Amino acid sequence: MIAIIDDVLAPEELQEILTHFDRADFVDGKKTAGWHAKLVKNNMQLPSKATSTQELRKQVKEALIRNKLFQALVQPKIVHSLLFSRYEVGMSYGTHVDNAFMGKGEFWRSDISFTLFLCEPEGYEGGELVIEASDGDRAYKLPSGSALVYPSSTLHRVNPVTAGVRFAAVGWVQSLVRDPDKREILFDLDTTRRSLFAKGGKTIEFDLISKSYANLLRQWAD
């Protein structure tokens, strides 16, 4: 499932991150790319081990954890390997697939990828995130503070930036539920039971759907 989540970050959180970027030293993004992705990756990133980067990661993770739509969509077990990227004019990230496992010393599965857009789309030209699929490419350029979540198994790319600067945070999720079809079933059930509760409160229908939701999650989680 590909989904857009609006307003993951509050305006003051966005401003804090962008203010940090103004004084930060970015490094070559190839340092965190796999051996084949290095061939097509051309961007800059915040140094992964810097204390300030760790603080920004914590801030973004906390924002994702409190976002109910993100929780319902991806069923996160762990949000990991968060990177902050900068694309200047001429920079891009060619077609690639994300590694199945990430982490040094620990192996976290990448079930879901997400891109959190950190600047307004009118502030740069090009730089669309493109998800490639058998029925055609889909390009995304979201408002600042909004996130796109998509399967890590997809081929995707970032088109060349032709004007301005593009800032984004990218990360990955190891889900409690590995199978994307099962995650979608759980999301549909959760959406339905919340709608029923909003309309009629705690009814027998709500209880039965909640029972099915909980039992399927119990059965499918790993």
At 75, give phi and psi (nearest 5°).
45, 60
Output DSSP code: residue 119: S
Q: What are phi and psi of 202, to 5 degrees?
A: -85, 90
Structure token pair of residue 183: 């995650």
Question: Measuring CA to CA, which residue among 93, 66, 92 is closest to residue 79?
Answer: 66
Residue whose structure tokens are 């810097």: 50
Residue 96 marked as a ligand binder: yes
Does 156 belong to an annotated binding site? yes
CA 16/CA 56 separation, integer angstroms: 9
CB 172 within 8 A of CB 114: yes
Q: Is 36 annotated as a binding residue?
A: no
Task: Please indicate if the annotation marks 166 as binding a ligand.
Answer: yes
Binding residues for Fe cation: 96, 98, 156
Binding residues for 2-oxoglutarate: 166
Binding residues: 96, 98, 156, 166
